[in-house]
């Protein structure tokens, strides 16, 4: 998330919030997921949804400035991660303890996980946010509206959504544990593999591949380049 001035007034009920060019967003998201360090420049405005959504924030050992800024008592070892990886929890209201007066009190040293978080990925992929546990994020996702500079850009968006749908509807074609459990990780995976999905399902193909063949191609792509560790 990014603290920026609001560009849209919200007058009761979901309004539309410009998400920017879809193709630009997609290129940036691919680069961010690949690098694990670029982060996302999200026009959050006054929204602080992801700081108030009962999320555990993963912090890597190399984020020394971040770790120094957070009281030790708020950090605990991240399950399943190598030594030094920690998580920061949330308070009884589901709020990050670093959020003070609706501002991130460690903004300049905030965790990479926070820099990477971009809820537009749910609008881009169609992966659902849990409205019960994360209502603020779910509301914001409904507000985002991408723009398209061409029909190709609009089609690109359809393919990303179809790739996400394929992953969600064909879990049984993937080895147990190979697909992520959390919606945001599933959405990021859809962005990672949509090109392969697009090649496999291209209308020009004469040999329509089976779902199992598409899943196999996705698995190969998943093994080709692992993204940097993230929460
Ligand atoms: S929920 Fe989305 S818009 Fe709101 S602060 Fe988080 S990333 Fe920004
Ligand atoms: S560290 Fe800052 S940006 Fe990250 S969740 Fe907490 S308040 Fe939000």
| pLDDT tens digits along 12-71 | 555 899 999 999 999 999 999 988 888 889 999 999 999 999 999 999 999 999 999 999
* pLDDT interval class at 227 (50, 70, 90): very low
Nearest ligand, CA of residue 106? 2
- Host H or E run for residue 18: strand 17-21
pLDDT single digits (tens) 209-219: 999 999 999 99
CA–CA distance, 201 with 70 (Å, rounded to integer): 47
125, 164 Cβ separation under 8 angstroms: yes
CA–CA distance, 176 with 193 (Å, rounded to integer): 18
Q: Which residue has the tokens 């609706």?
A: 102
Sign of the torsion angle spanned by Cα atoms 56, 57, 61, 65: negative
Looking at residue 231, its pLDDT comes to: 36
Q: Which of 1, 48, 231 to mutate to test the pocket of ligand 2 (most atoms within 8 A of CB)?
A: 1
Nearest ligand, CA of residue 96? 2
Q: Which of 111, 136, 184 to mutate to test the pocket of ligand 2 (most atoms within 8 A of CB)?
A: 111
Looking at residue 1, its pLDDT comes to: 60
pLDDT single digits (tens) 57-112: 999 999 999 999 999 999 999 999 999 999 999 999 999 999 999 999 999 999 99
120, 191 Cβ separation under 8 angstroms: no
Q: What is the pTM of this model?
A: 0.89
């Amino acid at each position: 998330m990014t603290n920026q001035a609001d560009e849209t007034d919200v007058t009761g009920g979901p309004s539309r919030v410009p998400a920017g060019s879809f193709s630009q967003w997609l290129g940036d998201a691919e680069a961010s997921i690949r690098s694990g360090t670029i982060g996302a420049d999200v026009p959050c405005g006054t929204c602080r949804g992801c700081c108030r959504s009962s999320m555990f924030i993963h912090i890597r050992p190399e984020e020394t400035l971040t770790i120094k800024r957070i009281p030790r008592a708020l950090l605990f070892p991240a399950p399943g991660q190598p030594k030094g990886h920690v998580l920061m929890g949330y308070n009884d209201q589901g709020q990050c303890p670093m959020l003070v007066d609706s501002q991130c009190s460690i903004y300049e040293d905030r965790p990479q996980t926070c820099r990477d978080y971009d809820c537009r990925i749910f609008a881009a992929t169609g992966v659902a946010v849990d409205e019960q546990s994360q209502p603020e994020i779910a509301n914001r996702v409904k507000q985002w509206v991408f723009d398209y500079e061409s029909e190709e850009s609009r089609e690109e968006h359809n393919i990303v959504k179809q790739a996400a749908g394929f992953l969600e509807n064909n879990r049984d074609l993937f080895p147990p544990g190979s697909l992520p459990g959390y919606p945001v990780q599933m959405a990021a995976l859809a962005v990672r593999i949509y090109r392969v999905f697009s090649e496999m399902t291209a209308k020009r193909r004469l040999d329509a591949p089976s779902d199992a063949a598409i899943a196999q191609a996705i698995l190969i792509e998943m093994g080709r380049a692992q993204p940097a560790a993230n929460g």
